[in-house]
């Protein structure tokens, strides 16, 4: 009995390294498969992700794989997001709200006494060469990174912008911040920039005491 137990114990010891190697190989194999499955596909460029180029919601009816609906599809994921932000009224119920017939009234406000201690650091922005290749003529020399549009002008201005004209425009040189609430009927910065960007620049020049032509 003692001899048999010793023999079985020796056999188990001899087999343990093999089982350990098999276990390690299995873990490595599963890790490799998981890494392949979780690898993110390369992001599409601005041209490649254009809603028209991708055929979202084109034709009547659109092909099933090109339909963007709510909540039936991942309508707020890239690249469908580019179509969604310009067609919210086709996905969700909206209603026009009148401002009323009475005269406008100024809103009460209180300035923070420490407001002058707030500083702004201009962002470096994104790849200016890549931005130029897109052909966005209203922002020559600009770039885009992390939801911020960087003008790369003499003032180091940058802005966060919505497609219907909503804007947070920061001009560190002029110590100016403009917050604009808007709902322009045309979705797209290209429809607004020719008017708004010169206005922001003129306001900055005025605040700095420069002559505005």
What pTM was estimated for this model as a whole?
Answer: 0.51
Once rounded to an integer, what is the mean pLDDT over residues 41-58? 83
pLDDT above 70 (res 84):
yes
The CATH class given to the 119-207 domain equals alpha beta
pLDDT above 80 (res 123):
no
Once rounded to an integer, what is the mean pLDDT over residues 199-205? 92
Give percent above pLDDT 70 in the chain.
Answer: 77
The domain segmentation of the chain, as residue ranges, is: 51-91, 119-207
Give percent above pLDDT 90 in the chain.
Answer: 20
Asked whether the beta carbons of 149 and 167 are under 8 A apart, the reply is: no
User: 75 is written with which tokens?
Assistant: 């309508």
How high is the mean pLDDT of the chain? 77
CB-side neighbour CA atoms (13 Å) of 155 = 21
pLDDT for the residue 190: 79
Segment 52-72, tens digit of pLDDT: 899 999 999 999 999 998 777
pLDDT above 50 (res 3):
no
Segment 7-35, tens digit of pLDDT: 444 444 444 444 444 444 444 444 444 44
Q: Who contacts 27 (Cβ-Cβ below 8 Å, separation ≥6)?
A: none
């Amino acid at each position: 009995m003692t001899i048999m137990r010793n023999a079985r114990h020796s056999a188990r010891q001899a087999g343990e390294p093999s089982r350990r190697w098999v276990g390690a190989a299995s873990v490595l194999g599963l890790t490799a498969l998981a890494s392949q499955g979780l690898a993110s596909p390369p992001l599409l460029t601005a041209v490649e992700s254009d809603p028209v180029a991708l055929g979202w919601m084109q034709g009547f009816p659109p092909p099933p794989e090109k339909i963007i609906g709510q909540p039936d599809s991942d309508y707020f994921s890239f690249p469908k997001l580019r179509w969604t932000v310009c067609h919210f009224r086709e996905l969700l119920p909206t209603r026009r709200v009148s401002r009323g017939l009475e005269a406008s009234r100024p809103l009460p406000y209180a300035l923070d006494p420490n407001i002058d201690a707030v500083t702004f650091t201009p962002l470096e922005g994104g790849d200016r060469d890549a931005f130029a290749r897109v052909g966005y003529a209203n922002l020559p020399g600009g770039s885009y990174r992390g939801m911020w549009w960087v003008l790369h002008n003499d003032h180091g201005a940058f802005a966060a912008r919505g497609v219907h004209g909503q804007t947070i425009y920061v001009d560190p040189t002029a110590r100016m911040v403009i917050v604009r609430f808007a709902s322009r009927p045309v979705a797209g910065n290209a429809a607004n920039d020719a008017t708004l960007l010169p206005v922001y620049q003129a306001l900055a020049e005025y605040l700095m005491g420069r002559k505005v032509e």
